[in-house]
């Protein structure tokens, strides 16, 4: 038996403003909810010719989107249910557990503030909405660049760590009723921008930070913030992403502008367990919600990669293999997240007969007819969009055939899967020929977004078990 990995784009959405953050809700019964944050620089209106108008700083505007995903909506499973205008969003993350019965979203914005939103059901509309609850200002004339919740493993007390453009970290306490936040501690951590801050989910007294000074630092709140417990200069450029593994203690992933993903054992920070060159600056890393060895990396100029870190965690391999590369974005790859939904490998509404029936010798005609219908229906998955920057004008298809042929070898790191055919019907025919084990076909649902082309992609990644034909 052989295994092959494929991905299928389910929907492409124009976010209008530049998109830089996406997060699926981790709370039970709300896994179908997705949020997307945007960041848009706008010049102030020049109403006159005086310096008072011309020299005004650029405005950092943002928009928070709320979507619901419904797999039964075959051709457009993602539906926008709310948009909120606000200052530009640099980061957003859901609290891992409900607070006072509600899912809570944290947002870091360009005015140097953290804001919390409740996700509440709209019973009369069979939908949901985000409602602001409280906010806290982290400092004057700074941008809040990142946030992380302390609830990845332990649920009490609830804390947030945030980093900002002045190189500072802010530890924030959150009242259990979500009605108030307070800055408990704030300190200078990096010489330049502190791009990222994150908790050790297994010991929330320990905090990690990364900055534009190329340093990765660790802090223990029990011993104070005057001095970090370690400083690593293993990354050669700014450290942009950090996440503690919620499934395996002591494991930490970091990413940098230097295009490397490093896997660490937090007990020994002199040398990483694994070093993987992903050929693009690593803006975000996200561990899989249930599989301890899978890591999703947003690699700026080189798309999105799914890394298999199991060998590094168990056998001490020096690098992680890249299981799949999703390279259908055409701008800076910033936001990325796994959904906790496990979706069917086939569409819910099947235009063809069940595979078990198609295998019967007397049903060849039914299969041919089903294939023709599938070709017609799945042509609607093709989406045309243009970038106002003029960088590209292309048709994004469901795993376009010609995309892989246009891509250079540098866009497919060693171990990455090549993009298969976009024609789903032909793909299904090929599956029948090799004998797919349909009972084991479940897919991971992911969302990714890119900056200058202001595009959000929702896509499915799956591992197909194939057997030889009989």
> Mean pLDDT throughout 420-430?
33
Burial class (CB in 10 A: 0-12, 13-18, 19+), 345: middle
Per-residue pLDDT at 397: 35
- What is the pLDDT confidence band of residue 337, given thresholds at 50, 70 and 90? very high
Instruction: Report d(CA 451, CA 283) in Å as an integer.
Output: 12
> Mean pLDDT throughout 393-406?
33
Question: Domain coordinates of the chain in residue numbers?
Answer: 2-44+59-343, 347-438
Per-residue pLDDT at 345: 52
Phi, psi of 207 (to 5 degrees): -130, 140
pLDDT at 221 over 50: yes
- What is the pLDDT confidence band of residue 132, given thresholds at 50, 70 and 90? very high
> Mean pLDDT throughout 164-181?
92
> Mean pLDDT throughout 377-390?
32
More confident position, 153 or 385: 153
Are the CB atoms for 178 and 169 separated by under 8 Å? no
pLDDT at 212 over 60: yes
Per-residue pLDDT at 147: 98
pLDDT tens digit string along 259-283?
Answer: 999 999 999 999 999 999 999 999 9
> Is the peptide bond between 237 and the residue preceding it cis, with omega within 30 degrees of 0?
no
Ranges 160-174, 286-300, 316-330: which has the least confidence: 316-330
Per-residue pLDDT at 93: 98
Any idea how long the chain is? Answer: 470
- For residue 462, give the nearest of 255, 279, 306 by alpha carbon: 306
- 2-44+59-343 carries CATH number 2.130.10.10: yes
Instruction: Report d(CA 449, CA 458) in Å as an integer.
Output: 9
> Mean pLDDT throughout 454-459?
97
Average pLDDT, the chain: 80
What sign for the dihedral angle of Cα 191, 194, 200, 203? positive
pLDDT tens digit string along 30-81?
Answer: 999 999 999 999 876 644 444 445 556 679 999 999 999 998 888 899 999 9
List C-alpha distances in Å: 274 to 149, 299, 314.
26, 17, 11
Q: What pTM value is reported for the model?
A: 0.79
More confident position, 27 or 344: 27
Phi, psi of 345 (to 5 degrees): -70, -30
- What is the pLDDT confidence band of residue 171, given thresholds at 50, 70 and 90? very high
More confident position, 249 or 3: 249
Per-residue pLDDT at 359: 34
pLDDT at 174 over 70: yes
Per-residue pLDDT at 434: 31
Place of tokens 């007819």: 369
- Token reading at 336: 């990325």
Are the CB atoms for 418 and 404 separated by under 8 Å? yes
Instruction: Report d(CA 257, CA 243) in Å as an integer.
Output: 16
């Amino acid at each position: 038996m052989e295994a092959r990995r494929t991905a299928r784009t389910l929907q492409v959405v124009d976010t209008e403003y530049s998109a830089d953050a996406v997060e699926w809700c981790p709370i039970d019964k709300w896994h179908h909810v997705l949020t997307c944050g945007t960041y848009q620089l706008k010049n102030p209106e020049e109403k006159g010719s005086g310096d008072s108008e011309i020299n005004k700083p650029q405005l950092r505007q943002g928009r928070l989107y709320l979507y619901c995903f419904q797999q039964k909506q075959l051709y457009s499973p993602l539906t926008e249910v709310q948009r909120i205008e606000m200052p530009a969003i640099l980061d957003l993350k859901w609290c891992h557990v409900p607070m006072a019965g509600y899912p809570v979203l944290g947002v870091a914005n360009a005015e140097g503030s953290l804001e919390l939103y409740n996700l509440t059901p709209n019973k009369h509309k069979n939908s949901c909405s985000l409602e602001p609850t409280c906010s806290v200002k982290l400092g004057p004339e700074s941008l809040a660049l990142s946030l992380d919740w302390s609830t990845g493993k332990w649920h009490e007390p609830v804390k947030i760590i945030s980093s900002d453009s002045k190189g500072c970290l802010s530890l924030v306490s959150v009242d259990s009723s979500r009605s108030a936040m307070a800055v408990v501690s704030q300190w200078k951590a990096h010489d330049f921008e502190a791009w990222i801050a994150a908790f050790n989910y297994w010991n929330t007294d320990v905090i990690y930070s990364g900055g534009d000074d190329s340093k990765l630092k660790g802090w223990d709140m029990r011993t104070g913030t005057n001095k970090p417990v370690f400083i690593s200069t293993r990354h050669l450029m700014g450290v942009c992403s950090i996440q503690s593994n919620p499934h395996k203690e002591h494991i930490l992933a970091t990413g940098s502008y230097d295009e490397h993903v490093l896997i660490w054992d937090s007990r020994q920070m002199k040398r990483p367990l694994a070093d993987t060159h992903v050929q693009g600056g690593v803006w975000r890393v996200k561990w899989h919600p249930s599989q301890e060895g899978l890591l999703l990396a947003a690699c700026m100029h080189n798309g999105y990669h799914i890394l298999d870190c199991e060998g590094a965690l168990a056998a001490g391999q020096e690098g992680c293999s890249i299981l799949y590369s999703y390279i259908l974005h055409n701008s800076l790859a910033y936001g990325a997240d796994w959904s906790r939904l496990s979706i069917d490998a086939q569409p819910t509404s099947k235009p063809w007969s069940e595979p078990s029936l198609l295998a019967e010798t007397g049903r060849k005609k039914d299969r041919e007819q089903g294939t023709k219908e599938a070709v017609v229906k799945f042509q609607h998955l093709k989406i045309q969009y243009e970038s106002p920057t003029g960088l590209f004008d292309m048709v994004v298809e469901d795993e376009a055939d010609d995309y892989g042929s246009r891509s250079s070898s540098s866009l497919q790191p060693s171990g990455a899967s090549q993009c298969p055919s976009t024609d789903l019907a032909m793909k299904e025919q090929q599956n029948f020929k090799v004998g797919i084990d349909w009972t084991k076909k479940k897919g991971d649902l992911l969302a990714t977004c890119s900056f200058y082309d202001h595009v959000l992609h929702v896509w499915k990644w799956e591992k197909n078990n194939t057997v030889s034909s009989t």
